[in-house]
Chains A and B, each alone.
Chain A
Amino acid sequence: MGTSVQLTPLSGVHSENPLSYLLSLDGFNFLVDCGWNDFFDPELLQPLSRVSSTIDAVLLSHPDTVHLGALPYAMKQFGLSAPVYSTEPVHKLGLLTMYDHYLSRRQVSDFDLFSLDDIDAAFQNVTRLTYSQDYHLSGKGEGIVITPHVAGHLLGGTIWKITKDGEDVIYAVDFNHRKERHLNGTVLESFVRPAVLITDAYNALNNQPSTRQRDQEFLDAILRTLRGDGKVLLPVDTAGRVLELILILEQYWTQHHLSYPIAFLTNVATSTIEYAKSSLEWMIDSIGKSFEHTRDNVFVLKNFNIIINKKELEKLPEGPKVVLASMASLEEGFSHDIFVEWAVDSKNLVVFTERAQFGTLARMLQVDPPPKVVKVTMHKRVPLVGEELKAYEEEQNRIKKEEALKASLSKEDDLKASCIVPDKSLSDPMVIDSAGGLISSEVASPRIVGYRDVLIDGFVPPSTSVSPMFPFYENSREWDDFGEVINPDDYAIKEEDMLDPTSVAVLGGGLEDKFDEDSNDMLLDSKPSKVVSNELTVQVKCSLIYKDFEGRSDSRSIKTILAHVAPLKLVLVHGSAEATEHLKQHCLKNVCSHVYAPQIGETIDVTSDLCAYKVRLSERLMSNVLFKKLGDYEIAWIDGEVNETDGMLTLVPLSTGPPLHKSVLVGDLKLADFKQFLASKGVPAEFSKGFLRCGENITLRKVGDSKGATQQVGIEGPLTEEYYKIRELLYSQFYLL
């Protein structure tokens, strides 16, 4: 019997909400994608929270928020601890995307859903795979093979093929069949007849103009604005489609020797570009080729200013410029602030390159006609001053004192031998002193504070001692017959220390080196500050345009691809209700009869009704089989008898002679092709009313629909030599088995 397959959507069906689905194969639960939206609304994750403990593996398909945004939160809050699988770029770019989100949020609010450590922890146990790598799961998932394949759309974007017992389940969302500047097109079309295909209906109602026309209009609009002394803002994602946009602009700037400043601004911009530079093997073949030949790396950008904070943006010359800033939703990040600043000037231009998430500011602006006025909330982190600062400091001092007390109490036991116990009353003034400079790091451990007290106020007599004295630690030494007892470890040469002090330092550095220094400063430097919010009404005077640079296959291509792949069962997810319904109806008519579009929480069973068993082909049987070659296939008719040994079925030749069987004609006849063929054999043929008239009197026609199981061809004519001749030619188009 076939493998049982169930799918339960947790989010992102009949809507454009983030993607998250539970796919279960013979009881092994995959969570495919773990998305969130730019609002980070925990409400959306309700269904996930209920099932997270039963998940055995997580598969990620694209490095953006709607595909993996909820991973850190789910790992932290829902106890999701299953191993995660993704491609190398999805891992790295996903990590950067999450950093960017966190940093953008943190700068303007007390964002506490997850921390940088949670992000790190979540991405730490990701197993990174390469395209077409067959990864065999072990343990509970024994027998399941997962393979990532090229999806296009984003760098590292993945179509997952999950195979068990020769049955393929394919998860393909947000794929792009077109080659782009930096990405290969998807290989989805190379899969034929999978048992189950799960795909999205996101673009089912969307048709795209030609790429060239789109690029031209896009660049023209930007250039027009720049020439008109305006500024251009492109709200982009952190590390996904922006790479394609950068290449387009970089190329255009180089070709036309433009000198307008152009900047890429996210919290992790430098890391993103550095990573892109070293990921050529994941990009389109031509990029790799050009590197192999001339060592030209396309991501060595000559025209771009890669910047990670607004201070540097201000350093750029005044006047017309282009800025690509995250996030695409305009809800947070640099793009939000810049938009508020620039929207009021009618010379400026905002170019949207993707459909923004539902309900976001960017989505509101994408409607036609765009609203004249939008309300935005500006959050700002301001340093504390005056009263507030004082209150904060007092609070901090109190906390610190308590900590110091706690620390000293816990230290007490250890330090008893040395007779030094930092006195609470005496260390008091010390703390107040240091509070003037404010202990800059929250992570500074109370233990250090304790020591500092002791060291500086060294001459203060501790309450337990009679006279002031230096702290003295008695070094008790043990002796035995051979002298002092030593610990051999103290004298062993530690390999790591000797080998490379630098790299140890680097590895020990941990978090800090993972992202760009400045933003780092801002974060770790926790000057007392508070978040101030105010509602603003922004007059949208600037021009707004939308150009589709999403890099997803459009409606027509999706339909063609689905018809080609022709899955036995098709599941539609992620797409507005209309789009899903539209594609469902289309597929029911043209692709297959099992099309599902489940609701959130609804478990659908897509177990194939396919029966299968394995049988060994004995050498004796095979020596009598004559294969006929048909394209990639070789095909033969066999008659065999089953022999069972140790539960293993073996097919051996029949003991009696083979029975006659209804002969099978294999082949696919296209009348048009056949007409050509006849012409080449000197037989005139022409179509009339759906019939193919061959020679004088013979007619050929196709009966029944083309989709049917068996192709029916009819040949009719009077008894003539010609009849037999044409029949002979017709036979040559088929293989008789």
Chain B
Amino acid sequence: MASNGPAPSMKKRESSGSREGDQLIITPLGAGNEVGRSCVFMSYKNKTVLFDCGIHPAYSGMAALPYFDEIDPSTIDVLLVTHFHLDHAASLPYFLEKTTFKGRVFMTHATKAIYRLILSDYVKVSKGSVEDMLYNEQDIIQSMDKIEVIDFHQTLEVNGIRFWCYTAGHVLGAAMFMVDIAGVRVLYTGDYSREEDRHLRAAELPQFSPDVCVIESTYGVQLHQPRVVREKRFTDVIHNTVAQGGRVLIPAFALGRAQELLLILDEYWSAHPELHNIPIYYASPLAKRCMAVYQTYINAMNERVRAQFEVSNPFDFKHISSLKSIENFDDVGPSVVMASPSGLQSGLSRQLFDMWCQDKKNACVIPGYVVEGTLAKTIINEPKDVTLSNGLTVPLNMQVHYISFSAHADYGQTFEFLKDLMPPNIILVHGEANEMGRLKQKLLAQLPDKNTKILTPKNCQTVEMHFNSEKMAKAIGRLAEKIPKEGEHVNGLLVKKGFTYQIIAPEDLHIFTQLSTGNIAQRISVPYEGAFSVIRHRLKQIYESVEPLGDPTESPTALLVHDRVTVKQENTKCVSIQWSTDPISDMVSDSVVTVILNINRGIARVGVMGEGVTEEEMERTAEKVVLALLNSLFGDVKRVAGEEGKMVVSVDGVVATVDSKSGVVECENEGLKQRLRTALRRIKSAVKPIPLQKISPFCYLERKL
């Protein structure tokens, strides 16, 4: 499908021809040139979709929300949430419960199940620290009723917006959404990973190329180490540390990557009996609650895990015990503790960090992406000193390792993905400004299609694109019995449903749609005591065609006026008028009624152009009228002698010939020709307002009625 970039000149040109709402607008309300509070607004043809609804983990309260003020929540048709991470889903209860939003919300089954747990936990954790809570537990429960579920690949349609989702890797239930509005497709990847790991599938490559791809750029131009190497480094660091009597702290978000790391650790411990006396703790009651979800939605995981499920549950860890709080933790010797939050802002991971950071035997393994502004980000650069939560500054002696397991695509994956997908427009979101800039440059240089447009809008910065949306209609039924040739006419009902168009003959309407056509037969009786022939006489003065019905030998008791309206003498006291409803017939019938009423009241007949006029004379009169009117419009109009109805018009030296009978205009000047044609048409419709012809092959009127 052809697409135009957001160049302003395009916009100007289009605005004259196309109607409003044909431009595609994409505005990041969050995650534009930043990581966190993902929220992208899109609108096309007056349909609006919002992708994701997250919070910024580094801020709190209202400041953490995306810029919802920029949009009118009540206009949003569909809200699609890609996965359960806080920066993609945590402002959803606020948006559903505290704004005017009244559209529909969709997420995958697994996402919905975990969403509830993760947000309840979020509310609990942030209770003490924040006064202005965005929402409470009750709001979350209420929001659950409004959220609908969608399965991978399932195609849904809401309000003419078609959408479906693909596996995105990243975490359990993570999805990439493809939205199709009137044939224009937009792919929103959310967070995705093209690498299969222990339990998740890799992100799929959509079957169709989208017109716009909104893609994450978290890792910019960085490249991940191969998975094997990463896992080996991870297990080696841990093995070495505990072997030397140290403690290992792994600050990780409770759900998502943590499960992957636990699978690795559990497996490693199984393979190394010498480690069996060293405990691994997983300090997250939340994760424990979510285990049921992991055990249920195995359909969202990869074949490897599903094969394991057949034997035993791989998420039933043998060497890992859960830890409720720091009070229950018996810190006596080497151990491995995985604790949240991942950024070491507060909570258990921070408490452990404060306890262990001064001992150089200990190690801290940071297993994923860390958000700007958190302590975890600070210690990656290995500063000499750190500030504890109690305000003291102490030397940082513990080893800090950064081994990324976060399932975001790296440059290699992003490049391959975009190369195969070939979207003409790419919008980068979910990445630091610098990384994003570098990614953009590198992609521009390396993508094979040099016309690809890459945009990096900031928050609230609107991107506009234009699509020459082709409207295709399908002619079906008896209208389509013959495929028309160039120049032939097509007329019928144009039926629009969603964004599909059909052209249907009126008789076929009930076959192809649930609509039906109707017909109203009218019969009205008018008191009349005079002779029927008077009516006939009067009508003949007005109408071109007044045909007697019934036996031609007898004097008629019924007349067909203008092929439409039947006037019939019912008895000596009244006549009836019958017709089938349509605007012209209604008008004719009204005039017939008037004529009869006038006769009743004895009003003299209307002025008429004489009786007994021949058709020829009529023609001549008509021609005269045409000539006079053309004269008043164009000035110099002459009749061509000898030829009926032919006239010559000359305007500023340009000459045109007009045949007033057939309506044919010949002229070298196209402008004049068009004007003459229009004029002639209007004159004709003024002279003969009601054409006498069977304009439609379907005459509903039952003459004998």
A656 and B681 contacting across the interface, CB-CB below 8 Å:
yes
Contact B113 A295 (CB under 8 A): yes
Binds A, one of B465-473, B602-610, B646-654: B465-473
- Chain B residues 493-536 with CB under 8 Å of chain A are 493-498, 501, 503, 506-507, 509-527
A660 at interface by CB-CB < 8 Å: yes
- Do the beta carbons of B524 and A718 come within 8 Å of each other? yes
Identity of the chain A residue whose Cβ is nearest the Cβ of B508 in the assembled complex: A709
Contact B494 A719, beta carbon cutoff 8 Å: no
Bound CA–CA A614/B198 (angstroms): 49
Which residues does chain B contribute within 8 Å of A610, judged by CB atoms?
476-477
Segment among A99-107, A478-486, A497-505 that sits at the interface with chain B: A497-505
The listed residue (A277, A663, A703) touching B521 by CB distance below 8 A is A703
Check: B475 CB closer than 8 A to any chain A CB: yes
> Quick check: is A639 within 8 A (CB to CB) of the other chain?
yes
How many of A's residues come within 8 Å of B, CB to CB?
Answer: 105
CA distance A642 to B486 in the complex (A): 5
| Residues of B1-58 whose CB lies within 8 A of A | 17-19
In the docked arrangement, what's the CA distance between A288 and B474, Å? 40
B425 to chain A, nearest CB (A): 22
B113 touching A130, Cβ below 8 Å: no
Contact B116 A642 (CB under 8 A): no
Contact across chains for B515 and A640 when beta carbons are under 8 A apart: no
> Is B149 in the interface zone, CB < 8 Å from A?
yes
Interface size class of B (residues with CB under 8 A): 35 or more
Task: Tally inter-chain residue pairs, CB-CB below 8 A.
Answer: 292
Q: Judging by beta carbons under 8 Å apart, are B520 and A293 in contact?
A: no
Task: List B contacts of A714 (CB < 8 A).
Answer: 520-523
Quote the shortest CB–CB distance from A251 to chain B (angstroms): 20
- Check B696 against A662 for contact (C-beta < 8 Å): yes
The stretch that binds B, out of A20-28, A176-184, A627-635, is: A627-635
Question: Which one of A136, A295, A643 has the highest number of Cβ atoms from chain B below 10 Å of its Cβ?
Answer: A295
Contacts of A636 in B (CB 8 A): 493-494, 496
Q: How far is the CB of B200 from chain A (nearest CB, A)?
A: 14
Report which residue of B232, B289, B293, B522 has the largest number of chain A beta carbons within 10 angstroms of its beta carbon.
Answer: B522
| Interface membership of A696, Cβ < 8 A | no
Interface residues of B in 460-489 (CB under 8 A from A): 470-478, 480-481, 483-489
A665 located at the interface, meaning its Cβ lies under 8 Å from any Cβ of chain B in the complex: yes
Which residues of the other chain, A, contact B516 by a CB distance below 8 angstroms?
A: 666-668, 709-711
Closest to A704 in B: B519
A467 to chain B, nearest CB (A): 46
Q: Which of the residues B295, B474, B507, B521 comes within 8 Å of A713, measured between beta carbons? A: B521
**Of the candidates B19, B141, B231, B506, which one forms a contact with A623 in the assembled complex, judged by CB atoms under 8 Å apart?**
B19
Contact A665 B520 (CB under 8 A): yes
With A514-B310, A612-B480, A615-B503 known to touch, is A280 a contact of B522 (CB < 8 Å)? no
Q: Report A-chain residues with C-beta under 8 Å of the C-beta of B593.
A: 719
Whole-angstrom distance from the CB of B174 to the nearest CB of chain A?
A: 15
Residue B71 CB within 8 A of the other chain = no
Q: B518 contacts A710, CB within 8 Å?
A: yes
Please name all residues of chain B whose beta carbon is closer than 8 Å to the beta carbon of A622 when the two chains form the complex: 471
Q: Which residues of A contact B19 (CB under 8 A)?
A: 623
**Docked pose: A627 CA to B18 CA in angstroms:** 16
Among A281, A640, A643, residue most surrounded by chain B Cβ atoms (within 10 Å): A281
Q: CB distance B297 to A295 under 8 Å?
A: no
Asked whether B307 lies within 8 Å of A291 as measured between CB atoms, the reply is no
Is A737 close to B, CB under 8 A?
yes
Task: Give complex CA distance A651, B484 in Å.
Answer: 10
Instruction: Give A514 to B309 CA distance when docked, in angstroms.
Output: 10
- Interface: A380 (CB within 8 A): no
Chain B neighbourhood of A718, CB < 8 A: 524-527, 574
From A131, A295, A641, B293 is in contact (CB under 8 Å) with: A295
Whether A634 and B495, one on each chain, are in contact in the complex, defined by CB atoms closer than 8 angstroms, is: yes
Is A456 close to B, CB under 8 A? no
Q: A635-B493, A641-B489, A717-B525 are in contact. Are A277 and B296 (CB under 8 A)?
A: yes
Question: CB-CB < 8 A to A495: which residues of B?
Answer: 228
Q: How far is the CA of A502 from the CA of B314 in the complex (A)?
A: 10
Q: Tell me the complex Cα distance, A642–B584, Å.
A: 28
Partner of A712, one of B231, B490, B506, B521: B521
Residue among B481, B518, B700 with max Cβ neighbours from chain A (10 Å): B518
**5 A-B pairs with C-beta separation under 8 A:** A500-B198, A513-B311, A649-B483, A709-B510, A719-B524
- Closest A-B pairs by Cβ, 3 of them: A662-B696, A133-B153, A663-B582
